[in-house]
Structure 1
Amino acid sequence: MVPELDLSDPAVLHDPFATYGALREKSPVARLLAPGFGSMWAVLRHAEARELLADPRFGPSSASYLRPDVPEHCRPYLRTMQEVGGDEHLRLRRTVAPAFTPRRAEDFRARVARIVDRLLDALPDGPVDLLEHFARPLPVEVICELVGVPGADRPRWHSYAATIATGAGPAFAEALPSAIEDAKGTVARARVAPGDDLVTDLLRTDLSEVDTVTLVWHLVLAGQTPANLVANAVEALLTHPEQLAAVRADPALAPRAVEEALRWCGPQPLTVPRFGTEDAEIGGVRIPEGEPVTVVIAAANRDPRVFPDPDRFDITREPGAQHLSFAHGPHFCLGASFARVQTEVAISALLGRFPDLALADPVERAPDPGTWRPVALPVRR
């Protein structure tokens, strides 16, 4: 019998890694019950998770972007690459992929470093919440720099990011039209005055106007992941003194620290649900056509079949099997290289600037089964 887990269970909210891990050892597949949303299948083990994420029989819901809580004229701009599959997804992916290569991310490193230094220069005196003053504004500034948003317009994008990241409700419906209009304005400016930015690159492709505007505004939402990743990584290092000492002694370990943070405390416990176009079997369990199925990243990334001593946070871990924090297969995160560079630069600069950095108070977590993130990150320097 397939085990079940209620996502409102306090154990999920308090320690999803242990809770999902116990479930993983019972079965490769389980049922997750989400109050108010129904149930979905969940793949828990690494091998089966990779299999699912690469399986062309599983794709997005064709109606997932038709949200009733936003104006009709905004709905075409909600159809991101996460909401399309098959040949259309492949076409879009191939078109925009050259703008998101690891080399492009490395070329962007110096500009990220300037943003990081500016934010660190502006930290208030005394104990400070690094989430509010550093980790949260950083990705929005980086995205604005990436797409060519002028400095005077960036405060609005910070506001959009904070509101749109909630994903629902009246505030989301109110903010989305303004974000889309600003994205249209960004695209229009790049047509008139091309620059050294992502939008200018996209305008050289055969993307439609709708696809280009959609990608620009959606970067604001998708780009929030590094905020929680930076915060989680900093907390993990500060609560593991031997690992903190290792990266301080050898700054070249920073990239490994980022990869281990992605594996051990990545901010997304679950992937976006996919839907089967036919009946399929995963891990010996039959998944009926049309039913939602997710990968439990928090379980797969600590699968002892793949990762030795998986519950240990170890930045000296030898590179081996790939974690699934950026997914796998056709929907592997397009911005993974930029997220890696951004997080590495942020951690390196933070530790280099403040040799006595330490937590000022215990970190509280948001009671949200969809993300693993702190409410605040209070530190002293």
Structure 2
Amino acid sequence: MARTETAAPAGCPHFPFPRQDVLPEGRTAFPPGHDPLSLSPQYAGLPPVTRIVLPEGQEAHLVTGYAECLRVLREHDTFRRGHADGVHPYPTIGSTVLAMDGAEHRAVRNLVGNYFAPANVRGLRPRVEELASALVEEMLADQGPVELLARLAKPLTLGVIGHIMGVPDTDLPQFATWGDMFLATGPDRAEQNQLAMGGMVAYMGRRIEAVLAGPADHAVPPGLITAIAGNQVHSQVPMDQAVIFAASLVIAGWETTAAALGSFMFRLLTATGDDGSTLYRQLCAHPDRISTAVEELMRTIPNSMFDTTQPRRAVRDVELGGTVIRAGDLVLACIDYADRDPRKFDEPDRIDFQRSTAQAHLGFGAGPHVCLGAPLARLELGVALEHLTARAPGARLHEPPHEVRWNTSTTIRRPVELWLELAG
């Protein structure tokens, strides 16, 4: 598609804006009181659509208004992902489902049918409960501080997606390594991304081939890999796309949810409500608010290091938020700031566990690319918080909040480690 570039106005801001979870050079800790989960102050006062400049000089439209972001996410015939891959500094998503649009995208997602529909995910609750209960029990048995991500967040989410997919527990650590490589942001990110995808595709290719070889292969556990293999035979989806999709599901099924649980607990243990108690203590006192708490924390905690979804490109001229976007222009939907839009959310910076509109957040996206695993993520996060608040009401951070280190090696925001004292 031919590209057209409309000139950026003088003084056009450079994007991405500085992250609040990156330590200033020469420092080993943040200043006391610093909030690593806050958004850059450069967002303040921006109109719903702003012309920006990316690191390599490319110009784009940054969309920060809620209604405007919703249009970008939903109107896939106007704003297309497949036309905007390889934009620095965003990861290259290649031939994954993230880069697909239209009928091709629908066909690939249909490989899993309704497997991740809320009604089906509810059937997984006993498995999630069993695993979360065992992990929290092991944490409580320790006499000293415990690290949340290694002891609960990662094994819970990896264990559940492994169960769903039919990946043996012994193979899950390798997927954790591949996940970090696939989401890497360093100078060798392209090589890391490709190595990870190559490893995952080779693995999933072998698993799917084993399924298609016939029921005599008892080494293949039942699971979504088996369903994808069966559905691929009857679909128009090429085998290589089915294999890539199966591989990406494992990463999507654990990485972001594990990171979210780490960030959730940091926020709950460091932020206070109107009565002066921590948000965590409030949840302990009101467990019936946990489901809304998950939505509010998704709304207010930035998940991506860029604050935006993957870039899209307009395929036709369109007016958005009073701005004319030309065919060929890059568009970035900043869902993290859109979820703070006062036109949509009253007192948007306030975390309110009784907010009636909490579930309207864009943390899981919207439109054709809405997160396939959103019901599963909600279940896992809710169950984890239920077990922690019920069995460790005195939980607190082991170290001062400003000394917690934050991940900067991948696109996902999370603590590198989050050490907790569970006895209070």
TM-score by length of 2: 0.78
- 1:281 corresponds in structure 2 to 319
Contact 1:255–1:344 (CA<8 Å) still a contact in 2? yes
Contact 2:83 2:312 in 1 (8 A): no
Shift of 1:114: 2.5
Q: Which residue of 2 aligns with 1:178?
A: 199
Aligned partner of 1:364 among 397, 401, 405: 405
Residue 39 of structure 2 is aligned with which of 17, 31, 54? 17
Q: State the superposition RMSD in angstroms.
A: 2.9
Can you give the 5+ residue segments of structure 2 that lack an aligned partner in the other structure?
Answer: 1-8, 23-35
The 5 A counterparts of 1:1-381 are 4-7=13-16, 9=18, 16-17=38-39, 19=41, 21-22=43-44, 25-36=45-56, 38-55=58-75, 56-62=77-83, 64=85, 78-123=94-139, 125-166=143-184, 168-191=189-212, 192-193=214-215, 196-205=222-231, 206=235, 207-223=237-253, 224-239=255-270, 240=272, 241-268=277-304, 269-319=307-357, 322-361=360-399, 362=401, 363-367=404-408, 370-381=411-422
Q: Deviations over 1:123-150 (max 9, x none)?
A: 4541122123322343222221110011
Q: What amino acid sits opposite 1:209 in the alignment?
A: M
- Cα distance in structure 1, aligned partners of 2:86 and 2:59: 19
Moved over 6 A (4+): none
- CA deviation after TM superposition for structure 1 residue 275, in Å: 0.8
AA partner of residue 215 (structure 1): F
Q: Which has the larger radius of gyration?
A: 2
Q: Which protein is richer in helix relative to its size?
A: 1
In 1, the alpha carbon distance for the partners of 2:421 and 2:336 equals: 30
Aligned residue pairs, count: 371
Structure 1 spans left out of the alignment, 5+ residues: 68-74
3-state SS in 1 of match to 2:39? helix
Structure 1 residues 18 and 60, CA gap change in structure 2 (3 angstroms)? closer
Identity of aligned residues (%): 28
d(CA) in 2 for partners of 1:31, 1:164 = 29
Secondary structure of 2:313's counterpart equals strand
3-state SS of 2:420 partner: strand
Q: What is the CA–CA distance in structure 1 between the aligned matches of 2:410 and 2:334, rounded to whole Å?
A: 11
| CA offset digits 1:324-379 (Å, max 9, x no partner) | 11111111111111111111111112222322111112133345795432232121
**Matched-pair contact (CA < 8 Å) for 2:309–2:335:** yes
Q: How far has the Cα of 1:309 moved from its partner? A: 0.8
For residues 286 and 21 of structure 2, the distance between their equivalents in structure 1, rounded to whole angstroms, comes to 35
Q: 1:379, 1:108 → 2: CA distance?
A: 28
Maintained 8 Å contact 2:398/2:421:
yes
- Further displaced range: 167-176 or 51-60: 167-176
Q: Secondary structure at the match of 1:99?
A: coil
Deviates more, 1:41-50 or 1:4-13: 4-13
**1:118 to partner: Cα distance:** 3.7
Q: Which amino acid aligns with 1:181?
A: A
Contact 2:19 2:39 in 1 (8 A): no
